Chain A
Amino acid sequence: MTALIALIPGIPLLGFLVIALFGKLLGRRAVSFLGAGSVTLSAVLMIIVGIAFIISPPADGAYTVTLWHWLTAGGFRAAITLRLDTLALVFVFVITFVGALIHIYSVEHMADDKGIIRFFAYMNLFVGSMLLLVLAGNLLLLYLGWEGVGLCSYLLIGFWYKDPANGYAARKAFIVTRVGDTAMIIGLFLLYVNLGTLNIQDLMQQASLKWVAGSPPAVASAALLLGGALGKSAQLPLQTWLPDAMAGPSPVSALIHAATMVTAGVYLIARTNVLFTLAPAVQMTVAIIGAVTLLVAGLAALGQHDLKRVLAYSTISQIGYMFLALGIGAWSAAIFHFMIHAFFKALLFLAGGIVIVALDDEHDIFKMGGLIKKLPVTFITFLIGSASLAALPLVTAGFYSKDQILWYAWSSEHGSPWLWLAGLVGALLTSLYTFRMVFIAFFGEAKTAITRKPGLTTLIPVSILATLSVIGGFVGLPGNMGNFHPFSTFVDKTLPHVVMNPGMHMETFFQVISGIVSLAGIYAAYVLFLKRKGFAEAFRRSAVSIFLYMGLGFDWLYDRLFVRPVVWLSEIDKEDFIDLFYSGIAAVTGFMHSVMTRTQTGRLRWYVMAISIGVVLVVTIILYL
């Protein structure tokens, strides 16, 4: 069993090595087979391990494997330790399973791309790093995986590197997430200095023993870890990189920028939940940031023209919901929404990728239209994904996960009506922008001809994800509907239970409200963007829409606030005294050079003369001085 756990991240990493080293030798077909095969094998192993885990749960709630000691320096020891508990199991399941489906999809989707060898090498490295991140037993190993996925994200956003804009987007993603990563590594130092270990289990134990709630070191370290999570999960104020990250291929957006990597921040907070419980102020901040982010991103999604940018903003918004759930202490609800979100968001990106390829790389939803009859399977799956995203009541998985968060936002100990209201308005926005996208992109008359029909190997993964987006919700039914929730029971073995306020019995009422809001959003989208001819175009040209299109001006603000001052400073500081010193050395050397060249005349007899005079001088000096 322990060997199998090590193989789950091991196989994709091995796949990366083989493809990176021998990819050219193996050829394109073998590489796609190997790239998709390694992740699929990992998924199969995961299912075996998962079944074993559920049948015979380990005594202390986790399988632990120590592979070898990574480094020992003084009192500091870091081991390569993999730890599989129920929380990690859910993440490993989503990463390998959704990852495998996306890899299989990519075989056809990327078949004509010149860089397919590079693509599969990066993708395998990404899956390996992400698995390392969630399986890591200590925070240093987690940080290794954390940076690994950041690197892969950079490489894959800039995958089509010949367009400078893609390189710009890749650098932006890397630099913005680096801001968070810096905070996180400082947090790790702080934790080590205070508690003397980085092993997550020991760390949590020590923290709850040594620190009282709200003490400065607990608040500081929780805030710093939150900084890392904000960067990776694209939450306010570090959310600006994710929409630009859509420059990469669609499978990359599906896997990295929707399903797995961006939820690493959610994982980190859930994993270090003890720290956040010890710092109530920081935990409150998590909830508020989540609430604000889901509103901001939901508004920004309304103004986008690019199909993938709409989905990108919806990702930010949905992760906002997860942060909201984490902030109010509804740990398992956040993880539940993460899983369901991974299903439907991967589905939306993959189906969107099919549309984009079918229309010869057309991203603008206003140039799409009339796709229902031409791409029927794609339309139905996309519709299912959208319904799940919009939380269509009762039939979709998204309803159950989102409703759980809204209910806890109202009723849990840390919840408040304001957070609930934000979540509710966010739900209205979600169904509005989602169905605006569906109605504009798929309905109406066709505007662009279809050049390529999707094949079976892309449609099967999409269909599987569509199925999961519907039935995935039935593992977490609310208390008044069958009270069947194996998922939260399972995850709660690792995470603390949500603490409810006493006297909360109106769950049905809130479900009806959120159901009505979701349906109202869809109806509003139908009336505004489908029935009223010309409104969509008119809205697109309005000043409000342009402001929303700019992502509420955050890029503009950061450009004025950070980028330009730095550029200006480096502009005026081009020739400071340090530079003067070095250019001075260069000038003196150049001068000496021009002097010395004069002596090199090429006349033999001058050289003899110089040697003779030199000898006379040296002899004189030796004899008389």
Chain B
Amino acid sequence: MVTVSLDIQILLASLLFLMGLVGLLVRRNIIFMLMSIEIMLNSAGLVFVIAGAHWIQTDGQVMFIFILAIAASEVSVGLALILQMYHHYKTLDADAMNKLKDKTTES
């Protein structure tokens, strides 16, 4: 069994989080933005697992299960919203939705 130092493990999680953040910032397609958020969420989960392994506690893995469950429900809500948005605006561009007003009532 190859042991990796804790620093490397945290670095991996941080890289994953940054990738998600950069993806969120540069993408305009809202599905990709949602996926980026998932990556960020999973990087946080990874930190929990790392911490659990480090202190030899099962709590970290338990928390990860929670995070997975939350992510699943969040994605289902998010996808439903994206569907609605697509129906409404016929686009997936996040920047198209910069008004609080409804597009149809806009004069």
Which residues in A have some Cβ–Cβ distance to B below 8 Å?
Answer: 601-605, 608-609, 612
Binds A, one of B47-55, B74-82, B96-104: B96-104
Show 13 A/B contacts (Cβ-Cβ < 8 Å), sorted by A: A601-B98, A602-B97, A602-B99, A602-B100, A603-B94, A604-B94, A604-B97, A605-B28, A605-B95, A608-B24, A608-B25, A609-B25, A612-B25
A605 and B25 form a contact (CB under 8 A): yes
Query: Smallest Cβ distance from A610 to chain B, in angstroms?
Result: 11
Nearest-neighbour CB distance to chain B for A605, whole angstroms, equals 6
What would 11 more interface pairs be, CB under 8 Å, given A602-B99, A608-B25? A602-B98, A603-B94, A603-B98, A604-B94, A604-B95, A604-B97, A605-B25, A605-B94, A605-B95, A608-B21, A612-B21
Count of A-B contacts with CB under 8 A? Answer: 23
Chain B positions near chain A (C-beta within 8 angstroms): 21, 24-25, 28, 33, 94-95, 97-100
A26 to B88 alpha-carbon distance, docked (Å): 57
Distance in angstroms from B10 CB to nearest chain A CB is 15
Q: Cβ of A605: which chain B residues have Cβ within 8 Å of it?
A: 24-25, 28, 94-95
Residues of B contacting A608 in the complex (Cβ-Cβ under 8 angstroms): 21, 24-25
A313 to chain B, nearest CB (A): 66
Q: Which DSSP category, helix, strand, loop or mixed, fits chain A's interface?
A: helix
Provide the bound-state CA to CA distance between A260 and B98, in Å.
72
* A190-B81 Cα distance, complex, nearest whole Å: 75
Closest to B28 in A: A605
Q: Quick check: A603 and B25 within 8 Å, CB to CB?
A: no
The answer for the CA separation of A264 and B99 in the assembled complex, in Å, is 69
Which residues of the other chain, B, contact A609 by a CB distance below 8 angstroms?
25
Residues of B within 8 A of A601 (CB): 98
- The smallest beta-carbon distance between B81 and chain A, in angstroms, is 12
**How distant is A599 from chain B, measured CB to nearest CB, in Å?**
13
With a cutoff of 8 Å between Cβ atoms, the chain B residues found around residue A602 in the complex are 97-100
CB contacts (< 8 Å) of B24 on chain A: these are 605, 608
A196 to B48, CA, bound (A): 79
Chain A residue nearest in CB terms to B101: A602
Closest A residue to B37 by beta carbon equals A608
Residues of A within 8 A of B33 (CB): 604
Give bound CA distance, A551 to B81, whole Å.
Answer: 79
- B95 near A603 with CB under 8 A, answer yes
The 7 lowest CB-CB distance pairs between A and B, nearest first, are A602-B98, A604-B94, A603-B98, A608-B24, A603-B95, A605-B25, A602-B99
> In the complex, what distance in Å separates the CA atom of A602 from the CA atom of B101?
11
Q: How far is the CA of A212 from the CA of B25 in the complex (A)?
A: 94
Chain A residues with Cβ under 8 A from B99's Cβ?
Answer: 602
A612 to chain B, nearest CB (A): 6
Q: Which residue of B lies closest to A601 (CB)?
A: B98
Interchain CA distance A608-B25 in the complex, whole Å: 7
A378 to chain B, nearest CB (A): 69
Q: How far is the CB of A248 from chain B (nearest CB, A)?
A: 53
In the complex formed, the residue of A with least CB distance to B26 is A605
- A603–B99 Cα distance when bound, in Å, is 9
**How far, in Å, is A619 (CB) from chain B's closest CB?**
12
Give Cα distance in the complex from A605 to B98, angstroms. 10
Task: Give the docked Cα–Cα distance between A608 and B23 (Å).
Answer: 11
Residues in A with CB closer than 8 Å to B21 are: 608, 612
The winner among B97, B98, B100 for most chain A CB atoms within 10 A is B98
A604 and B24 CA atoms in complex are apart in Å by 10
